[in-house]
Amino acid sequence: MTDATISPDAQTARAKRNVIVLVLAQATIGAQMPMIFTVGGLAGQSLATNPCLATLPISLIVLGSMIAATPLSAFMQRFGRRAGFFVGATGGAAGGAVGALGLHLGSFPILLVGALLTGIYMSAHQFYRFAATDTAPKEYEARAISYVMAGGLISAVVGPQLATLTSQSMVIPFLGTYMAVVVVNLLGASVFFFLDIPKVPPLAAGEDGGRTRWQMLKTPRIAVAMICGTISYGLMSLMMTSTPLAVVGCGFQESDAGNIVSAHVLAMFAPSFFTGYLINRFGVERIMGLGLAILLCAGMVALAGVDLLNFFGALVLLGIGWNFGFIGATAMLTASHTKAERGRIQGLNDLILFGGVTLASLSSGGLMNCSGGTAVEGWNAVTMAMVPPLVLAGAALLWLVLRPEARTPS
């Protein structure tokens, strides 16, 4: 059934059912991302001959996401969200298997191939937030996005703890974690059988398909949403990628790094229970601005010292800032395009998004391991690199707020 053939009550009920399915997907399959982000840099460090390349496995995941974003969006536009999410889970399972093979053989290149395949899952994972709005009434869209993102709370707890339990479970360090990733994907994908999102019907002859990509990029709200979303996600990746290396490099344990990553991911998703309400109550621009301000505070706490409390404080603030900035940007974007346009703009958005995140992730490893001679100097370099992007995002948002005609959704 299409939205036009069902009652408003039935439409809302279907939207809520789909949100539940996507929350379960976040909670189960989503656990692989904190698992891999916890051990990926350490696994790379164990195999790479050049320490500057230690975080390359994480960067390749993001690169794979960037490459997959546009074709995966087009695939979903044609075959539906469910088919696209199954493709994502298959990519995640394949990435875990190939990564495990790379560790077993002691091959850094094979580990990188596995990371690239994992990027297919990461790309599909990001479309959960868009899928939450596909069947949702307009007034429920921001909350639907928030609730789906809140599903990451369970993965935030389960993922890092699974990484801690499995990282040394076999003779070869981290091999057990990558094998666990395969199981998580195969079992978690079953929830998609319950997803009920109709395919977008093909355009009839002569029917208006909406704006071109270039026309949408020139729309102020879309442009600012993409800038702020990319920078919010990129800065989160910049700091998170180097955190395990910085924590261990400053003399703490791998379990400490896992606990910090767990606290960070909890902070990423816990605010989601009320982010949608805050957006509806105060406006999306204010919430995005608050997110950018909190990201700045995260950098200040990180620069203040390298005690465990500093790491915990900085990463918790990083997660909250990401939540407000990224969910706000997503809500602004989805309110600025039509269903006919979603396959074009959502794929383009995530192509640009993961391009920025790839650059941030690659920069993170280089800054952390090749800036100065100590872990403290490297961590400070990572933190200082947050300033220019934050200035850009803040200026873009301020420009939008000062343009009254641009504040009205397209």
Does pLDDT of 13 surpass 50? yes
Angle at 118 between CA 264 and CA 240, to 5 degrees: 25
Structure tokens at 385: 């690199």
pLDDT of residue 182: 95
Q: What helix, strand, coil percent values describe the chain, rounded to 5?
A: 80, 0, 20
pLDDT of residue 404: 63
pLDDT of residue 319: 94
The mean pLDDT of 197-218, rounded to a whole number, is: 75
Kindly give, in sequence order, each residue whose CB lies less than 8 Å from that of residue 334, ignoring residues fewer than 6 positions away.
130, 133, 141, 145
Report the helix count and the strand count for the chain, using DSSP H and E. 18, 0
Q: How confident is the model at residue 206 (pLDDT cuts 50, 70, 90)?
A: low
Kindly report, residue by residue over 331-341, the tens digit of the pLDDT. Answer: 899 888 877 78
pLDDT of residue 84: 94
pLDDT of residue 202: 67
pTM of the shown model: 0.74
The mean pLDDT of 70-91, rounded to a whole number, is: 91
pLDDT of residue 410: 42
Does pLDDT of 289 surpass 70? yes
Pair 56, 112: CB distance under 8 Å: yes
Does pLDDT of 407 surpass 60? no
Kindly report, residue by residue over 119-147, the tens digit of the pLDDT. Answer: 999 999 888 988 888 888 877 888 888 88
Does pLDDT of 214 surpass 50? yes
The mean pLDDT of 296-309, rounded to a whole number, is: 94
Kindly give, in sequence order, each residue whose CB lies less than 8 Å from that of residue 118, ignoring residues fewer than 6 positions away.
32, 36, 61, 64, 91, 92, 95, 96, 99, 181
pLDDT of residue 405: 62
Q: How confident is the model at residue 1 (pLDDT cuts 50, 70, 90)?
A: very low
Does pLDDT of 8 surpass 80? no
How distant, in Å, are the alpha carbons of 23, 27, 153, 191, 316 from that of 195?
11, 15, 21, 7, 32
Q: Where are the beta strands (DSSP E) in 329-385?
A: none
Q: Topology of 7-197+211-406 in CATH? A: Growth Hormone; Chain: A; (1.20.1250)
Residue 200 has what DSSP assignment? P
> In the chain, where are the structural domains located?
7-197+211-406
pLDDT of residue 204: 60
Burial 153-169 (b: 16+ CB within 10 A, else e): bbbbbbbbbbbbebbee
Question: Among residues 300, 280, 269, 324, which one has the least CA distance to residue 383?
Answer: 300
Kindly report, residue by residue over 223-241, the tens digit of the pLDDT. Answer: 999 999 999 999 998 998 8
Tracing tokens 């994907």 back to the chain, one arrives at 185
Tracing tokens 């069947």 back to the chain, one arrives at 135
| CA–centroid distance for 12 within its chain | 26
Burial of 267 (0-12, 13-18, 19+ CB in 10 A): buried
Residue 53 has what DSSP assignment? G
- CB-hemisphere CA count at 13 Å for 117? 24
Angle at 360 between CA 354 and CA 364, to 5 degrees: 145
